[in-house]
Chain A
Amino acid sequence: MNLRKTSFFSLLFISFLTLRSEDPQTYFIKNIKVVPVSGPVIDQGSVLISDGLILSVGADLKAPANAQIVNGEKLTLYPGFFDAYNDVSALSGSSGATPATAGIAARSTTTQVITGPSDRPSSNASLALADDLRLDEKKLEAWRNGGFTHMHLVTKNGLISSRSAVVSTAPNYSDASLIKPETAIALGFSGGRDFASFPNSLMGSISYFRQTFIDLAYFEKQKETYLKNPNGLVRPKYDKVLEGLAYAKAQGLPLIIPVTTKAQIARTLDLASGFGFSFLLQGVQEGYKASDLLGTGRIGALVALKWPVEEANADPEDEPNLRTLRFRDQAPSTPSVFEKARVPFGFSGDGITSTKDFMAGIKLAIDKGLSKDAAVQALTLAPAKLLGLQSVVGSIEKGKIANLVITDGEPWESKTKIKMVFIDGVKFDIPEPPTPPERPNSRPNTPSGKE
């Protein structure tokens, strides 16, 4: 692990050197409406960035001589948008399957009979996504052009995922793009689907987690005793999944657990409180019913913006029942309910492949009562806090990474254009998108990527 980390930092260092030689790296953005998120809006402000970091923010700053001036008249400056949870496929190429990203695929081809929890089925905690990440430049560009400067990428590979990563959307993806190479571990409840693979039911998956985290606590204790004085002790059996989990726990990485319904939320709170990890909920679309369970900031949520809708041209015979209709109607009110109940939340792009759909999802939540301030928070600083990145990204503050976005309006309005993006202080002018032919009657919140 240490070796990997060292190499990460040295790479980061080298890449700064290279970037620096290409780019002046000192920008003075002036006459712009600054939304720092961490503090009040500055109507006519300026921001000085240099060497990839924010140097100063204020109303009466003076541009240094070496700075390149960006005039932000009539524009707004936000912290770079942050997709707090998305599948690695949102950015990776179609042929990018690697050991860290393809745990399930690797397993389903084996004919090995799983004998129980000790086989650690579909568990990839020993792997780090960051070690083996290949991203698609076109996808990076698309997210960048939508104002997203960094994204939390997760592999939904099985029951216990590899360690997730937060990457910037800068072009020419390399290790230098990693903002937090180890961010979280995602749990999943879908194990094997054939009769021979344990677990193949929800209750089996839950039992598997319960046993594995009991094993983890035992393993940690056993190892500690052994390392103090191994002489005369039977050595603890090497278990790479427990090693990976113990490492993640020591690093303070949270678990991310997918839930939809209130019953699932209640169940997960009970279950995960015994794991010895901090944890976040992901999805949480029936959260509008569950503020009593989540209120007062105890548990954070990454609310998925792919709201439940009926497919256009759905089978007319497949009439949705009242419960489904109510869910479709009320799910987008979850963020506003969370805002009132003070549940900390960020936006998850789980299942969303375009920034337009992401923003349409936010727009719908605002229509259902979410305040605009809270919407900006959930798009920037709130998820940074939940994922342990609050000191580096999420707001326009001195010392933070210069990941910024300049727009000509509120980000969730469909007419709003992203004008410019800064990633690690490097400026990207966003080309005017070719105006697509107007689609009459097309629904704004239907994700267009997946069919």
Chain B
Amino acid sequence: MKRTLFVSLVLATSLIPQEILIKNATVYTVSRAGTIQKGSVLIRDGKIAAVGKDLKASSIAQVIDGEGLFLTPGIIDAHSHLAVEGGVNESSLSVSSIARIQDVINPDDKDIYRNLAGGLTIANVLHGSANAIGGQTQVIKLRYGAPAKDLIFKGAPTGIKFALGENPKRSNVTLQPGQARRYPATRMGVMDVIRQAFTDAKEYQADWDNYRKGKTKVAPVRNLTLEPLVEILEGKRLVHAHSYREDEIVALLRTAEEFGFKIATLQHILEGYKVAPEIQKHGAGASSFSDWWGYKVEAYDAIPHNASLMHQAGILVSINSDSNSEARHLNQEAAKSMKYGNTSYDDALAMVTINPAKQLGIDKMVGSIEVGKDADLVLYNRDPLSVYAVPQKVLIDGKMYFDIAMDAQMNESKSKEKDELTTKLKPKADPNRPNPMGARPNPRIGSDFFDTFGQEWKEDLFCHIHSEYHTHD
């Protein structure tokens, strides 16, 4: 009886609409509604219920006064390696489409929270760039504290990583004696690997078609490497292709057209400005860095005007992080395109909100402040494209995931807890082993996940060399 009562109470509570009203803020809607001064946004049950001026909320609504603050849609990173456990590269095979990021989402990764604090609400988590055809990607919402399956953005189309150039051809890998060199070793080879893989995928697709049509009696065995490639051929899976040079970009577009599929986004694409018309004609999006270059031979011809020039050529452009730390200030990265190439304010903000949403096929649900969309929002203390802008509150699905005041409180109590635990757990010195200089850090104990895959595997080592060393806790 008691339990029934409790259950019905819980149900009743969840049926009451949860309302939040953010009022008096400068609202950047990143939609046709433009910027609303002294604007309000009403959130009901995790969705945006109304946007405008002088909105009234019901008596149950939680009201957030946005006086002097700036509201934007949640920031979206189209290229992230966040929250991945046990390595972002299955680097062994030239076609590693069997590997899936969704299998290894680590909801405990503290970087999720750190990126939230920078206004990031959605990340396209990519496999690394060691293979011509890499692993399956996963779009996540940064619902820190939820289990892995609840970080997955359910409505988002599936994706896959491709990579061109130096990384898949292994120019940066020093082989150990006796170690075999993996094919391919040239850009031609990379394209050959892709062509061969899709030829195999077509054959596999035909095998299944024949079976389904009754032409063959025995079902083929499922091939988890080829299945995602068939989905690409059928237009069901988005291709995110790591690329640098103009020649390889055009070669990939041609190869894709040969097999009748589209490249959803070209990632990094530092020479995209040289072949913008070709990219625009194919219909691929471009997701680039703001101003990093020269960190390897294929990155020498990059210019900071790249994003603006591609945007002017009619390409859908986003700015990505490819990094745990840069994702915390993607707003500033977007702002750089205003300085280099005179992109407008609205277009610059779009490069980290609605544009990546479009590239990931999730723009019907997120990416702007419009009625019916998910209430993924960032409240900044300063203008969002200013270097002084610091997120004060970050909401996902109308739920507060970061609040700068609560964060300060939490840090205080955590620091206290840490001190207490440190004292409690401090081992007493062992007089039989008086050699502190020889001591090594304690490897994390338990399963071989921790033991085998240390921090060095966490970032895409192939992808870039601009990542800072980052302590994983």
**A204 within 8 Å of B (CB atoms):** yes
Separation in Å of the A279 CB from the closest CB of chain B? 14
Cross-chain contact A306 with B433 (CB below 8 angstroms) = no
Q: Is the CB of A308 within 8 A of B148?
A: no
Cβ–Cβ contact A200 & B424, under 8 A: no
Are A207 and B100 interface neighbours, CB within 8 A? Answer: yes
The answer on a CB contact under 8 Å between A321 and B182 is no
Measured in the bound complex, the distance between the Cα atoms of B353 and A352 in whole Å is 52
State the CA gap A192–B176 with chains docked (Å).
14
The distance in angstroms between the C-alpha atoms of A285 and B473, with both chains bound, is 17
The answer to whether B130 and A195 have CB atoms under 8 Å apart is yes
Task: Find out whether the CB atom of B90 lies under 8 angstroms from the CB atom of A201.
Answer: yes
For the complex formed, measure the closest distance between the CB of B196 and the CB atoms of chain A, giving whole angstroms: 13
Mark interface residues in B137-153 (1 if CB within 8 Å of A CB, else 0).
Answer: 00000000001110000
A313-B436, A329-B421 known; A200 vs B87 contact (CB < 8 Å): yes
Instruction: Tell me the bound Cα distance from A322 to B90 in angstroms.
Output: 30
Q: Which residue of B lies closest to A204 (CB)?
A: B90
- Whether B421 lies near A203 (C-beta < 8 A) is no
Q: Give the complex CA separation of A443 and B135 in angstroms.
A: 46
Q: CA of A430 to CA of B130 in the docked complex: distance in angstroms?
A: 58
**Contact (Cβ within 8 A) B101 A195:** no
A440 surroundings in chain B (CB, below 8 A): 431
Give every chain A residue within 8 A of B130 (Cβ-Cβ).
Answer: 195
Known: A201-B453, A211-B98. A310 touches B442 (CB 8 A): yes
Nearest CB in chain B: distance from A322 CB, A = 5
> Inside 8 A of B91's CB, which chain A residues have their CB?
195, 200-201
Cα of A252 to Cα of B93 in the assembled complex, Å: 34
Per-position binary interface string of chain B over residues 408-438, scored 1 when its CB falls under 8 Å from any chain A CB and 0 otherwise: 0000001001100110111111111111100
Q: Does B215 contact A (CB under 8 A)?
A: no
In the bound complex, do residue A309 and residue B427 qualify as a contact, i.e. CB atoms below 8 Å apart? yes
Q: A266 to B421: give the CA distance in the assembly, Å.
A: 27
Asked if A196 and B180 sit within 8 Å, CB to CB, the answer is yes
Contacts of A441 in B (CB 8 A): 428-431
Contact B435 A313 (CB under 8 A): yes
Say how far A93's CB is from chain B's closest CB, in angstroms. Answer: 23
CB-CB < 8 A to A329: which residues of B? 421, 424-425
Q: Is A439 an interface residue (CB 8 A)?
A: yes
Asked if A70 is at the interface (CB within 8 A of a chain B CB), the reply is no
Q: Is A271 an interface residue (CB 8 A)?
A: yes
A347 CB contacts on chain B under 8 angstroms: none
Smallest CB-CB separation from A233: which chain B residue? B218
Q: Could you tell me the dominant secondary structure of chain A's interface residues? A: loop
List chain B residues, Cβ under 8 A from A442. 428, 430, 432
- Does A115 lie at the interface of the complex (its beta carbon under 8 Å from any beta carbon of B)? yes
Contact residues in A for B471 (Cβ distance below 8 Å)? 321
Residues of B within 8 A of A204 (CB): 87, 90, 92, 96, 98-99
Query: By the criterion CB–CB under 8 Å, are B179 and A203 in contact?
Result: no
B430 A116 Cβ-Cβ under 8 A:
no
Per the 8 Å Cβ criterion, residues 262-291 of A in contact with B are 262-264, 266-267, 270-271, 282-283, 285
Stretch binding the partner chain, chosen from B35-43, B46-54, B104-112, B293-301: B104-112
Give, as a whole number of angstroms, the nearest-CB distance from B91 to chain A.
5
Q: Which of B133-177 contact A (CB under 8 A)?
A: 135, 147-149, 170, 173, 176
Does A261 make an interface contact (CB < 8 A)?
yes
A139 at the interface (CB under 8 A from B): no
Give the Cβ gap from B6 to chain A, nearest Cβ, in Å: 17
Please give, as numbers and ranges, the residues of chain A lying within 8 Å of B176 by CB-CB distance: 194
Q: 0/1 per residue, B427-470, Cβ < 8 Å to A?
A: 11111111110011110111111111100010000000000000
Q: Is the CB of B224 within 8 A of A202?
A: no
Q: Does B86 contact A (CB under 8 A)?
A: yes
Residues of A within 8 A of B252 (CB): none
A207 close to B447 (CB less than 8 A) = no
Name, among B84, B88, B449, the residue most crowded by chain A CB atoms within 10 Å (CB to CB): B449
Q: Does A409 contact B (CB under 8 A)?
A: no
> Does A116 contact B85, Cβ atoms closer than 8 Å?
no
- Find residues 418-445 in chain A having any chain B CB closer than 8 Å to their own CB: 439-443
CB-CB under 8 A from B209, the residues of chain A are none
| Interface status of A106 (Cβ within 8 A of chain B) | no
Q: Which residues of A contact B442 (CB under 8 A)?
A: 309-311, 314, 318, 320
Minimum CB–CB distance from B219 to chain A (whole Å) comes to: 8
Q: Give the contacting residue for B452; candidates A116, A190, A259, A267; CB below 8 A.
A: A190
Q: How far is the CB of B179 from chain A (nearest CB, A)?
A: 6
List residues of chain B with CB within 8 A of the CB of A200: 87, 89-92
Partner of B425, one of A261, A325, A439: A325
Q: Which A348-396 residues have a C-beta within 8 angstroms of B?
A: 351
B418: nearest chain-A partner, CB-CB: A322
A13 within 8 A of B: no
| Cβ 8 A contact of A308, one of B170, B422, B429, B446 | B446
Contact B451 A190, beta carbon cutoff 8 Å: yes
Taking the closest CB of chain A, its distance from the CB of B200, in whole angstroms, is 12
Please determine whether A315 and B89 come into contact, CB atoms closer than 8 angstroms.
no
Tell me the minimal C-beta distance from B176 to chain A in angstroms.
7
Residues in B neighbouring A351, C-beta threshold 8 A:
445
Q: Contacting B89 at CB < 8 Å: which of A193, A201, A259, A263?
A: A201
A305 to chain B, nearest CB (A): 11
Contact between chains at A215 and B148 (CB < 8 Å):
no
- When the two chains form their complex, are residues B99 and A203 in contact, meaning their CB atoms are under 8 A apart? yes
Asked if A157 is an interface residue, CB under 8 A from chain B, the answer is: no
- Least Cβ–Cβ distance between B193 and chain A, in angstroms: 13
Chain B hits for A301, CB < 8 A = none
CB distance A211 to B224 under 8 Å? yes
Partner of A203, one of B86, B149, B418: B86
* Residues on A with beta carbons closer than 8 Å to the beta carbon of B445: 285, 306-309, 351
Q: Does B222 contact A (CB under 8 A)?
A: yes
Residues of B within 8 A of A328 (CB): 421, 425
In the assembled complex, which residues on chain A have CB atoms less than 8 Å from the CB atom of B431?
439-441
Give the CA-CA distance A113 to B94 in the complex, in Å.
Answer: 12
Contacts of A261 in B (CB 8 A): 108, 449
Chain B, residue nearest A451 (CB): B433
Distance, CA A162 to CA B404, complexed state (A): 53
A189, B439: Cβ atoms under 8 Å? no
Chain B hits for A203, CB < 8 A: 84, 86-87, 90, 99-101, 103-104, 127, 135
- CB of B421 within 8 A of CB of A115, answer no
Name, among A322, A328, A441, A446, the residue most crowded by chain B CB atoms within 10 Å (CB to CB).
A322
Q: Which of A282, A306, A322 contacts B417 (CB 8 A)?
A: A322
* A111 to B180 alpha-carbon distance, docked (Å): 6
The CA-CA distance from A309 to B106 in the complex, in Å, is 23
Q: Is the CB of B446 within 8 A of A266?
A: no
- Please state if B418 and A325 are interface contacts (CB–CB under 8 Å): yes
Query: Given A210-B224, A313-B429, A313-B435, A116–B87 Cβ distance below 8 Å?
Result: no
Q: Which residue of A lies closest to B89 (CB)?
A: A201
Partner among B85, B87, B104, B439 whose Cβ is within 8 Å of the Cβ of A311? B439
Q: Which 6 A-B pairs have the closest CB atoms?
A: A202-B86, A201-B87, A260-B446, A190-B452, A204-B90, A198-B92
22 contacts between A and B (CB under 8 A): A111-B179, A115-B93, A116-B225, A190-B452, A195-B91, A198-B92, A199-B92, A200-B92, A201-B86, A201-B88, A202-B85, A203-B90, A204-B99, A206-B103, A208-B98, A211-B98, A215-B221, A218-B222, A316-B436, A328-B421, A441-B431, A446-B430
B residues in contact (CB < 8 Å) with A: 84-93, 96, 98-101, 103-108, 110, 127, 130, 135, 147-149, 170, 173, 176, 178-180, 182, 221-225, 414, 417-418, 421-422, 424-436, 439-442, 444-453, 457, 471, 473
Besides A196-B92, A267-B103, 6 new A-B residue pairs in contact (Cβ under 8 A), listed by A number:
A206-B104, A218-B222, A263-B105, A263-B147, A315-B441, A324-B473
